[in-house]
Amino acid sequence: MLLKHRRVLLPFMASMVLAEFAIMLMMKWLGLDILGFWLVALFDATAVSLTAIILLWGLTSRAGGLSTDAQLKTGAIVFVTELLVMLLLPMDGDGWLFFLLDALLLSVISGLLIYWQVLLPLQRGKKTRATAITTSTVWGCLFTYLSLMTCAGIILLSVYQQQQQQRYEEVSAAEMSHLDTIRQELLANLHEAALDLTLLAGQAERLVSQTGLDVGEPQLAADYMTYLKVRRDYAMLRLIDSQGEERVRVERARGQEAVNIPAGQRQNKWQHDYFDKAMQLAKGEIYISELELNIEHGQIEIPYNPVIRLATPFFDEAGNKRGIVIINLMAERLLQGLSRPRQPLLGQLILLHKDAGWLYGVEEARLWGSVLDERRQYRFASSHPEVWEQMQGGSEGMTRAPEGLYVYQKLTARDHPVLGTMTVDESGLQPPQWWLISVVKRAVFEQGMVKIRNLLLTVSLFFAVLTAIGILLFSHTLKKRIEAERKLHHLAHFDFLTGLANRALFSCTLERELQHSRRSNVDSALFYMDLDNFKPINDRLGHNAGDAALKEVARRLQHCVRPYDTVARMGGDEFAILMTGPIRPEDIDTLAKRILNAFDSPVEVAGQPFQLGVSIGVTLLHQSFASHEQALAVADQAMYNAKKTGKHCFFLAPTSKMSKDTYDR
């Protein structure tokens, strides 16, 4: 095979520059530097060596392609060259100029070595192409490769899923810790207000006992004003008597200072739910309302003013309930606290009412679905039914959804060690409950899994390339072994001179045919032949001429038989034919005459014609034969009878099945 190296080498080197440049850019983009120098170098060398094999095979395919040896040598040259280049230029360089220099060095050095070690020897005809691997071997190697890659893919996928699950658990634990911190902050605010409320209730009880409410109202109003100046989270402080009348009301509008509302502008709260519930409490118990919108004069205050009310009853000396003290917390300030940037927190915070109404964490148009009738369709349970159902199974936990991870905690005043005892009442009133949720978007997890995914991808590519090289090496070794076994099998079962079956193979075939004849009661025929006038060829022209004559005899015999009959050389100038059944008596006569006629024309050996004859002994294979040796012996004796008769004829051994007429023929 003559390879025009200029048409192969130059395109190969140019393609190698582009391939190595692309591989370097891909490794930089994947961030494989975290794997360390040697893993990166091995990955680069493996990838580029496989690319080189494919390129060179494609460039030489018109000329017949490369042998397996040449392909492996090409891959080895490029692999070692790239490792050396990487040692000279480690991956601490940056920019496309560095990548281009690496690609040029690899292309030039490996191109020259491949020309010297692969292309030039092929040009000079020092190498021959290996024979193709058999179809079964190719499919076996392909199946093995696919099986290994499938197993590797399953393992790597399992590792990735474990890492992903671990990532989910780590994020969930971190988010749960952050949610617990936020929950404690909110409960601390409620606890602080509850303590103030207890103090104010005690103050009211002292005034009732000492001077009465009418006399003590100015003093209470002054004290409440002081509280509002100090407590910036309080929107309103009130004292309401047992008839629902506001006796003291001090409030702070948004962004304004506290004012004392005169008696003429105070309201009666007898019909309000919080008044009724607070009046049911025992001494020291505190009522905490839901997070709701403030209502003034029977209408929701505009703009919306979210509040949380804390109320507790106060008593006179006789233990009679005289009214309640109530604090309105500015819930808007609490919600603003949720929006404060929290660096460790990865998710978006959501606050829900216990009935799944949005309180925080969604656009304004969906908020307050628990209060506003026109927004009741905007509920978390409607938009996230599966997540909401999962949340009903416990007070805290996590659940995964297509959009990300939901980490949730139930928030209630009873979770606070002190506040919990203050909000447990004998009347059966339950403190409010909210859901605090952190939603970690899938993109956040994807960012955290990028390096792990790139690492596993690199491992998979590296394994794929190494496995492919291993399979190529294995297939090459297997091909040689199959060829060696095939040669041994051929030598053991076929005559090396004529290519016909030898005595060993013919004996096995004859034994199987005898067994078949016994089972099916169908006769076959055995022809045993010896050449006439063959000895003079060896004596006059030598054994080489005799071998040539035997080859010609084998060729003529093969042309006489049917495709499914067996022709064998039994040794020397003796041959045999197994004529498989079922057969008729005239079939034996036909084949015997065809063989005799085949030798009517002389055999030309070394330019000289020699008239050969053939003596044929024939026997039918029947149940009386105990083994193939007995059948061969009978056919051999029939052959000697033919020679005695006059040579170049056939003799059919008589059997019990044959009529006298058949035997005479």
| Both structure tokens of 152 | 């590797």
Which residues of the chain form CATH 3.30.70.270?
Answer: 503-664
Q: What is the pLDDT of residue 34?
A: 56
Measured at the CA of 113, the angle between CA 111 and CA 118, to 5 degrees, comes to: 95
In sequence order, which residues have a C-beta less than 8 Å from that of residue 36 and are 6 or more positions away? Answer: none
Note the pLDDT tens digit of each residue in 369-391.
777 878 878 888 888 889 998 88
- From-to residues of CATH 3.30.450.20 in the chain: 173-444
User: Residue 242's pLDDT is what?
Assistant: 92
Answer for the pair 327, 310: CB distance below 8 angstroms, yes or no.
Answer: yes
The pLDDT tens digits of the residues spanning 31-62 come to: 666 555 666 777 778 888 888 888 888 887 76
Domain 503-664 fold: Alpha-Beta Plaits (3.30.70)
Tell me the sheet residues that pair with 653: none
Residue 243 has a pLDDT of 93
pLDDT confidence of residue 86: 76
With beta carbons less than 8 A apart as the criterion, state whether 201 and 314 touch.
Answer: yes
Instruction: Answer whether 44's CB lies under 8 Å from 19's CB.
Output: no
Higher pLDDT residue, 229 or 8? 229
Among 86-100, 355-369, 388-402, the least confident range: 86-100
**In which band, very low, low, confident or very high, does the pLDDT at 186 lie, cut at 50, 70 and 90?**
confident
Tell me how far apart the terminal alpha carbons of the chain are, to the nearest angstrom: 60
pLDDT of residue 621: 84
The whole-number average pLDDT for the span 2-15 is 70
Containing 613, the helix (H) or strand (E) segment is strand 613-621
Instruction: Count Cα neighbours of 444 within 13 Å in the Cβ-side half-sphere.
Output: 19
Whether the pLDDT of residue 459 is over 80: the answer is yes
What pLDDT score does 35 carry?
57
> Could you give the CA distance from residue 431 to residue 414 in angstroms, rounded to a whole number?
7
Q: How sure is the predictor about 132, in pLDDT bands with cuts at 50, 70 and 90?
A: very low
Confidence band of 658 (pLDDT split at 50, 70, 90):
very low
Residue 553 binned pLDDT confidence (cut-offs 50, 70, 90): very high
Decide which of 357 and 337 is more confident: 357
CA distance 361 to 350: 4
User: Structure pTM?
Assistant: 0.53
H or E stretch covering 530:
strand 524-532
At 296, which helix (H) or strand (E)?
strand 295-296
Chain-centroid distance, C-alpha 15? 32
CA 387 to chain centre: 28
Cα-based distances in Å from 629 to 276, 354, 495, 504, 621: 118, 98, 20, 12, 12
**What whole-number distance in Å separates Cα of residue 391 and Cα of residue 397?**
7
pLDDT value at residue 471: 81
Give the CA distances from residue 417 to residues 143, 188, 389, in Å, rounded to whole numbers and listed in that order.
66, 10, 29
Fold of the domain spanning 173-444: Beta-Lactamase (3.30.450)
Handedness of CA 627, 633, 634, 639 (dihedral sign): positive
Q: What confidence score (pLDDT) does residue 663 get?
A: 37
Contacts 24+ apart (CB under 8 A), 302-309: 304/368, 305/235, 305/254, 305/332, 306/331, 306/332, 306/335, 306/359, 306/368, 307/235, 307/236, 307/331, 308/190, 308/334, 308/432, 309/274
Q: What angle, 0 to 180 degrees and rounded to 10, lies between the N-to-C axes of helices 543-560 and 585-598?
A: 140
E strand or H helix at 528, and its extent? strand 524-532
What digits encode the pLDDT tens for the residues 191-239? 888 899 999 999 999 988 888 888 888 888 999 998 888 888 898 999 9
DSSP state of 117: I
- Give the strand pairing for 348-353 and 433-441: antiparallel
Q: What is the pLDDT of residue 133?
A: 43
Classify the phi-psi angles of 360: left when phi > 0, otherwise alpha if psi is within -120 to 50, otherwise beta. beta
Give the pLDDT confidence of 19-33 residue by residue, as tens digits.
Answer: 888 888 887 777 666
556-565: long-range contacts (C-beta < 8 A, 24 or more apart)?
556/598, 556/599, 557/500, 557/529, 557/595, 557/598, 558/500, 559/598, 560/591, 560/594, 560/595, 560/598, 561/591
Examine the pLDDT at 664 and tell me if it is beyond 70.
no
Residue-wise pLDDT tens digits, 254-308: 667 889 999 888 999 998 888 998 898 888 888 888 888 887 777 888 888 888 9
3-state secondary structure 211-267: CCHHHHHHHHHHHHHHHHHHCCCEEEEEEEECCCEEEEEEEECCCCCEEECCHHHCC
Which residues contact residue 72 at a Cβ distance below 8 angstroms, ignoring those fewer than 6 apart?
472, 473, 476
Query: What's the pLDDT score for residue 3?
Result: 43
Q: Which helix (H) or strand (E) holds 663?
A: helix 660-664
Whether pLDDT at 425 is above 50:
no
The identity of residue 239, as a single letter, is: L
Please compute the mean of the pLDDT values over residues 66-71 and round it to a whole number: 69
Candidates 533, 530, 554; CA nearest to 611 is: 533
